Each structure stands twice: as structure tokens, then as C-alpha cells.
Homo-oligomer: A and B are copies of this chain.
Amino acid sequence: MISKVKNAMSTLVGGMIPHGHHQHHGSGNVHHQNCHQDGLPPLFPYGRPEFLDLTSELLQYSTEHASRPVLTLKRDSRLPWRTGYAETINAGKSMLNEDQASCELLYVKKLSDKKQSNSTLLDDNGVRLPEDGTGIPLQYWGMFDGHAGSGCAIMASKLLHRLIRDRLEDIAHLLENPSAALPICLSNNGSPYQGAVKKGANATQDSEKPDAIPDPSIRFHMEKAVSLESLIMGVIENAFKQMDELIEKEEMSYTISGGCCALAAIHLMGKLYVANAGDSRAIIIRNGEVIPMSNEFTPESERQRLQYLGFLRPELLGNEFTPMEFPRRIQYRELGRKMLFRDHTMNGWAYKTIVEDDLKFPLIYGEGKKARVMATIGVTRGLGDHDLKVYNSNIYIKPFLSCCPEVIVYDMSEYEHGPDDVLVMGTDGLWDVTTDREVADTVSGFLSCCEPTDPVRYTLAAQDLLMRSRGVLKERGWRLPNERLGSGDDITCYVIPLAGPAGPAGPEGPETET
């Protein structure tokens, strides 16, 4: 086993991720066939999250499928809010751990306060510019569950937070005056539009009075109030889209393998924004109670959206797939009989007479973790996958995938959080074998046994949580205490204390006992 891993590692160190070494389970039977990428260098070398600060020996150790070591933070590492973190590699489904994570404290500065720089996002190749601590602080936690390679997850873990920060800087002047009503229209210099100067003699500013236009549809001249919270949601949504476009662009010059689900939590100005595109999950555990902070996007949960697209744009199905769902494959000899089906308009099922077209493979097929889009991929939102095609065909999957996250907002100020109130973020490896309730009970039980001021209590809680989903290796595979199968997937989790900003040990300040 070691020799195999060593062999792989020698490739790794050079940063090349060998093609075709992935076994495809979990997020899909995905096959990347885009030949133009062959021979291109990777944009970033394989590695584990920066904050783990692994030696190359530990990096090698982290890839051992036989022992599946649990990696956690070093005792002296400091993530914002004393965040806890743990990860482990899969049981053999892919050579490398395709999950990635990043955790950052950033500062949002007004463009005018920022030193002008011509460097683009990629110029420094992911190395952070030193922060001088001025601007609006932004805490960020991201996790990226890769499939068909780790390239896309690595790139997103290096860059997504910077895109979010940059987009927030475009509106920093609005963030700094949060009490002012959000201006609907901005001048080219970004300042609120103070009204146009009318042509003609009576040039006046008309920003104070309502528009006086001789328009019969005057009844529509109302304005919708837009909150700052909605604007920040929009920033996050568009940063995901920009990330996806950047991946596509850089694929011209680099090998950026596969795709990834993305789950990010952003704390800004007293609110927590949890953005999810994929099948990772976030929950808040508050006073032992579970508050869901994300919804999963899978072929089952997004069936109707995908069927609707296939219905409206049948050419995307390449004459191979039908937008109808059937409970199983139809055989040719069943033509003319009646079979259960549902289309994009239905949640229930009905019988239809089978016609020739129904013999095509269903766009959405399978149940639960085995559900697939076009027999290929098991998640419907995420980043990358631009070159993903149905096996042995020229049918692209990407039009059916969405890179847009759902953003759920949590107002931190509406509740006084204790030291055991946390946000738990995990890739599907965690949740596949452990329910929300079990996660809450595990974390709450563990934290109640730790000193509230213990600086590593959240890391230990994350480690404990992860072990509960991985299990221990027995003769019949990885087993949970109840003898059920543990998760064989890559597993990553954060345990983030919500008392963080007010908690006993902030990221910068000295530890104080409470």
C-alpha cells in the first residue's frame, strides 16, 4: 500500500495529477474526455488545506486509504473564532482526498483606501497579500467536495473567498453606511445616482422628487426596497458564478480536473451567510436544537428543474435521453404497455402508454445516493465540470448543472450564543451515515465535557464527529459503533463556535478566561 502511495506521491510532488487514476463512485460516474487538457500543467499542485501546515511526510501519510488518518489542526494553529476542523481520506474510491477546505480572515476595503495594484487574481498564484487589519473584517469558511479529480476543488479553495472579498469591495462604500437606504441606481463612479441633469433650460437635480414622466404606466413607478443583506447575498451568488467562469477560462492554459460541490460560510457585519451549491450540508446547533442552514442539490431534489430544461431544450439530451422519469429502464418488448412516469410538472406518478421515445435513457435515474443526471453525475450544483460529457458520447452535462448557490442568512445578533452553540459544516461523507440529530447530539455531548475556554475544544469536537462517520476498520470494512457501514467517502468538517466574535479567545486577541 505504501509503495503504491509513494509512487503516487512522487507524481504529486511535481504537482501533476495523473489522469485516469480515479475510480468513479459517490458524486458520479464521471469521465472527463477533454483531450485538449492533456499535457497542460496543473494550476495549483495537490495539497491539503494551508492551515493544516502539513510536512511532505504528513501529506503522504494523509493519503493512506488503509488507515484513513484523521487530520486536525495543530495545537498552536489559530483559525478565526477557534474554529475546529477535521478531515480524512476516502476508503479507496480515489487515490487522493478530493475534498478541500479554506478558512480565512479577510478585510473589505474601500477601493480608494486600497493601494492600486495591477496584479490580477492569479498573479500571486494564491499567496495572500499581507492584510494590514484595516477595513471591514470578513470571516470565511469554505469546503469543496471534488469529483473526477481534485484540481477544481483546489482552485476554488484558493480563490473563491478572494472573489467574494473583491466583489464586496465594489460595494464597500455601501457597507460602511449600513443605515442608509440602498440606492437603486449608481453613477459610473459608484456613488448613488443623484439624478440626471435634464436637457434644456431648466436643468435641475430631480433626485428629491419622484420622476415626472408623461407615461400612462405611471402606476408602475414604485420602487422596491432592497436591503443590504440582499445585496451581500447577490455578491456571494455572483462570486460563485465568476469562480465557475474563471475555472473555464483557466482550463485553456492549465489542467483543472473535475468539478466540485462548494459550501461557504461568510460572516460579515453580524450576519452569517451560508452559501451552498451541491450536496454538502451546514447546520447550526443552538442550545441542542438543529437549525438547517443549507439544502442539498441532487438529481432528486432538482429533478423538476432539470426535466424542465430537457423539455424546453431537447437538443441538450442528444437524442439519447428522455426528460421523463420512469421507475426503471423500459425494455423494447414493453412498447405499447403502460408504465409509471412523471414529467417536470409532476410530483406524483401516473401511467402512460409506452412509445418508442420512452425507450431512451431517463435524464434523471436512480434513487438516493445512486441518483444520476444522464447516468453520469450525482450532484446538480457546483463549480467546474465544463468538459464533462456522458460516457462515450458528445453530450455535455454542464448545461444541466448550476453553479449558483442557495444563500441562507442567519442574524447572529438575534440570539446570545453560548460556547456550545456552533455551526457544523460537512461534506456528504459526514452526513451520509450520520443524521442532523446524531451530529447535534455528538457535538453537544462532546462540548459539554470540555472546558469552555479550552482552545482546542472545537477541533476535538470536529475530530470526534468525523470518527463517528468514518468508523473503525474491521474485517468487513469501516464500521460504526452500531456495526453499520461507516462512510467510505472523503470526509471534511468544520465546527465553528457562534459565540466566536464574542467568545473567550478571538483570533487575534490574547486568550482570556471567562
Contact = CB atoms under 8 A, between A and B. Distances in A.
Contact count band on A = 35 or more
A336 B241 CA distance: 23
Interface stretch (A39-47, A143-151, A338-346, A419-427): A338-346
A328 B223 contact: yes
Given A185-B334, A185-B337, A337-B193, A345 B224 contact: no
A240 to B, nearest CB: 9
15 contacts: A184-B326, A184-B327, A185-B338, A185-B339, A186-B339, A211-B331, A217-B329, A222-B366, A225-B327, A230-B348, A231-B350, A233-B349, A234-B350, A235-B348, A347-B406
Interface in A306-333: 308-309, 312-313, 326-329, 331, 333
A196 interface: yes
B346 A404 contact: yes
Contacts of A226: 327, 340, 349
A370 interface: yes
B222 A328 contact: yes
Contact of A187 (B170, B234, B337): B337
A349 B186 contact: no
A182 B328 CA distance: 13
Contact of A342 (B223, B234, B366): B234
Contacts of A184: 326-328, 339-340
A217 B361 CA distance: 10
Contacts of A313: 312
Interface in A354-373: 361, 365-367, 370
Contact of A230 (B170, B234, B349, B365): B349
Interface of A: 170-171, 182, 184-188, 190, 193, 196, 211, 213, 217, 220-226, 230-238, 241, 308-309, 312-313, 326-329, 331, 333-334, 336-340, 342, 345-351, 361, 365-367, 370, 375, 402, 404, 406-407
A213 B337 contact: no
B237 A346 contact: yes
B404 A349 contact: no
A232 B340 contact: no
Given A188-B337, A190-B338, A196-B333, 11 more contacts: A184-B327, A185-B334, A186-B339, A186-B351, A217-B361, A217-B375, A220-B329, A223-B327, A237-B346, A238-B346, A345-B402
A234 B348 CA distance: 4
A222 B370 contact: yes
Contacts of A312: 309, 312-313
A381 B503 CA distance: 49
Contacts of A407: 347-348
A371 to B, nearest CB: 10
A216 to B, nearest CB: 10
A337 B186 contact: yes
A72 to B, nearest CB: 34
A362 to B, nearest CB: 9
A370 B348 CA distance: 32
Contacts of A230: 347-349
Which of A196, A213, A231, A328 has the most CB atoms of chain B within a 10 A radius of its CB? A328
Given A186-B338, A188-B336, A224-B367, A237 B347 contact: yes
Contacts of A224: 327-328, 367
Nearest to A275: B348
Contacts of A234: 342, 346, 348-350
Given A187-B337, A193-B337, A336-B188, A221 B348 contact: no
Given A186-B351, A342-B234, A348-B231, A221 B336 contact: no
